[in-house]
């Protein structure tokens, strides 16, 4: 069971707001402000440079990594935190293609988040070895796995529709054909119990379901045993075995530690560390079960009240991540109208209205209010006002 009365009280949710966008940016944990103040005043302000030793700043990437490892079913010492997800994807991908020097296909799908594909394109160009990125429809990926695939790189949950891949099944075939595996868990970590399914690499965000705050650093998992064999693409000094020996040549640290690049973002890591306290004692299977209940309730209520929106997410709860998406021709202004009424979701072009399901702080009342307000806006065409049509930079 998820004790929502307990976990909801750990967040600073603004009055009058119903939040269904924790899949994009998790809300502020109450304890974050005190932690940030401590880091600023008692650590940075008082300790100055001594803080790297006295306040444990240098240990944060691995310490926070171990806390995330527990949430994604990874062993201690196999996860490191820092940098953006775009960079972590590139680190994983570059290491993976080195494992298969005679293959040239980077296999992903056309539902993957664009930055993952863009980074793959940039890497292929930089390598200059003729790697090609293939992006079939998600349902066709399994059939495409074969001996010419250099790496399989997939995001488990589709950011637009919430469709969830069957990772264990894909992994089984990939392994049978010697294909290294990179999973992007951006919409998985903190949404349900993750099955790494023998992945070689896994990466993900901490500002979505893990509530680390805007721009919070990403994580990377490397399979134990494999990590020691990797020559990192970004051979930064903090991934060196002895950064303060200041040697002129790069020598990678043991294990996943070599995936650190430069100076850790101490403020962001500290706030993330505090945000992760919320997960202590949370049963991820119970969280997933609750997320299914809330999403079924939302879908049923939206569909019962109007017929202009069509469900873009898989109808079976087990085939979705913790999000529900509807297609609506006027999705952008409708979302703006919804936000104006205090119900926050977001929009992904061309016509997807997205709603994140986050049982740590959502109640049935939140779900009902969101569904009812949405249905009312669609029914009354309240979205059809000039101010709701103006496109903002972030949708
Ligand atoms: C959110 C998300 C990203 C974002 O990458 P950043 O480098 O953190 O901006 C990348 N990939 C996927 C699959 C995502 O869902």
The string of pLDDT tens digits covering residues 129-188 is 999 999 999 999 999 999 999 999 999 999 999 999 999 999 999 999 999 999 999 999
Cβ 83 under 6 angstroms from ligand 1: no
- Average pLDDT estimate for 334-362: 98
- Average pLDDT estimate for 200-212: 98
Nearest-atom number in ligand 1 for the CA of 215 is 8
- Average pLDDT estimate for 99-115: 98
In the annotation, is 207 catalytic? yes
Nearest to 157 by CA among 383, 319, 328, 385: 319
- Average pLDDT estimate for 223-245: 97
- Average pLDDT estimate for 273-283: 97
Q: Pick the catalytic residue from 164, 208, 320, 348.
A: 208
> How many whole angstroms separate alpha carbon 310 and alpha carbon 331?
11
Q: What is the mean pLDDT of the chain?
A: 97
Is the model's pLDDT at 59 over the cut of 90? yes
**CB burial class (10 A; 0-12, 13-18, 19+) of residue 147?**
exposed
Cβ 186 under 6 angstroms from ligand 1: yes
Q: Pick the catalytic residue from 11, 19, 113, 209.
A: 113
In the annotation, is 184 catalytic? yes
Q: Residue 296: which pLDDT band, with cuts at 50, 70 and 90?
A: very high
Cβ 85 under 6 angstroms from ligand 1: yes
In the annotation, is 298 catalytic? no
Residue nearest to atom 2 of ligand 1 (CA): 186
Is the model's pLDDT at 395 over the cut of 90? no
Cβ 197 under 6 angstroms from ligand 1: no
Q: Pick the catalytic residue from 159, 207, 219, 347.
A: 207
Q: What is the 3-state secondary structure (H, E, C) of 321-378?
A: CCEEEEECCCHHHHHHHHHHCCEECEEECCCEEEEECCCCCCCHHHHHHHHHHHHHHH
The predicted pLDDT at position 29 comes to 98
Cβ 253 under 6 angstroms from ligand 1: no
Q: What is the 3-state secondary structure (H, E, C) of 362-379?
A: CCHHHHHHHHHHHHHHHH
Q: Residue 83: which pLDDT band, with cuts at 50, 70 and 90?
A: very high
Q: What percent of the chain has pLDDT over 70?
A: 100
Is the model's pLDDT at 92 over the cut of 90? yes
What spacing in Å lies between the alpha carbon of 370 and ligand 1's midpoint? 26
pLDDT digits (tens, 9 = 90+) for 114-131: 999 999 999 999 999 999
Cβ 158 under 6 angstroms from ligand 1: no
Q: Residue 1: which pLDDT band, with cuts at 50, 70 and 90?
A: confident
The predicted pLDDT at position 45 comes to 98
DSSP 64-122: HHHHHHHHTT--TTSEEE-S-HHHHHHHHHHHHHHT-TT--EEE--TTS-HHHHHHHHH
Nearest to 362 by CA among 283, 290, 276: 290
In the annotation, is 160 catalytic? no
């Amino acid at each position: 069971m998820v004790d929502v009365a307990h976990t909801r009280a750990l967040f600073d949710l603004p009055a009058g707001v119903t939040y269904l966008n924790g899949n994009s940016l998790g809300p502020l944990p109450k304890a974050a402000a005190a932690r940030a103040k401590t880091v600023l005043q008692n650590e940075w302000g008082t300790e100055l440079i001594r803080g790297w030793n006295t306040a444990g700043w240098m240990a944060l990437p691995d310490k926070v990594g171990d806390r995330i490892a527990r949430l994604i079913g990874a062993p201690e010492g196999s996860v490191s935190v820092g940098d953006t997800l775009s960079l972590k994807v590139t680190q994983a991908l570059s290491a993976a293609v080195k494992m298969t020097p005679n293959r040239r296909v980077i296999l992903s799908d056309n539902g993957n988040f664009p930055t993952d594909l863009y980074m793959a394109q940039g890497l292929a160009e930089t390598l200059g070895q003729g790697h090609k990125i293939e992006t079939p429809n998600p349902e066709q990926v399994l059939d495409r796995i074969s001996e010419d695939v250099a790496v399989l790189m997939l995001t488990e949950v589709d950011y637009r529709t919430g469709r969830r891949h069957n990772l264990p099944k894909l992994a089984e075939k990939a392994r049978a054909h010697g294909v290294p595996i990179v999973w992007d868990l951006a919409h998985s970590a903190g949404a349900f119990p993750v099955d790494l399914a023998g992945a070689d690499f896994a990466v993900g965000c901490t500002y979505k379901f893990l509530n680390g705050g805007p721009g919070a650093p990403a994580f990377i998992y490397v399979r134990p045993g494999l990590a020691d064999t990797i020559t990192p693409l970004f051979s930064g000094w903090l991934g060196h075995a002895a950064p303060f020996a200041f040697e002129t040549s790069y020598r990678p640290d043991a294990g996943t530690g070599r995936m650190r690049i430069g100076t850790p973002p101490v403020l962001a890591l500290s706030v993330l560390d505090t945000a992760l306290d919320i997960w202590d004692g949370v049963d991820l299977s119970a969280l997933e079960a609750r997320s299914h209940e809330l999403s079924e309730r939302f879908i049923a209520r939206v569909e019962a009240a109007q017929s202009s929106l069509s469900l873009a997410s898989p109808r079976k709860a087990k085939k979705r991540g913790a999000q529900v998406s509807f297609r609506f021709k006027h999705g952008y202004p409708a979302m703006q109208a919804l936000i104006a009424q205090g119900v926050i979701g977001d929009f992904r072009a061309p016509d997807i209205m997205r709603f994140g399901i986050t049982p740590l702080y959502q109640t049935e009342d939140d779900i009902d209010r969101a569904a009812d307000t949405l249905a009312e806006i669609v029914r009354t065409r309240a979205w059809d006002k000039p101010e709701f049509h103006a496109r903002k930079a972030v949708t």
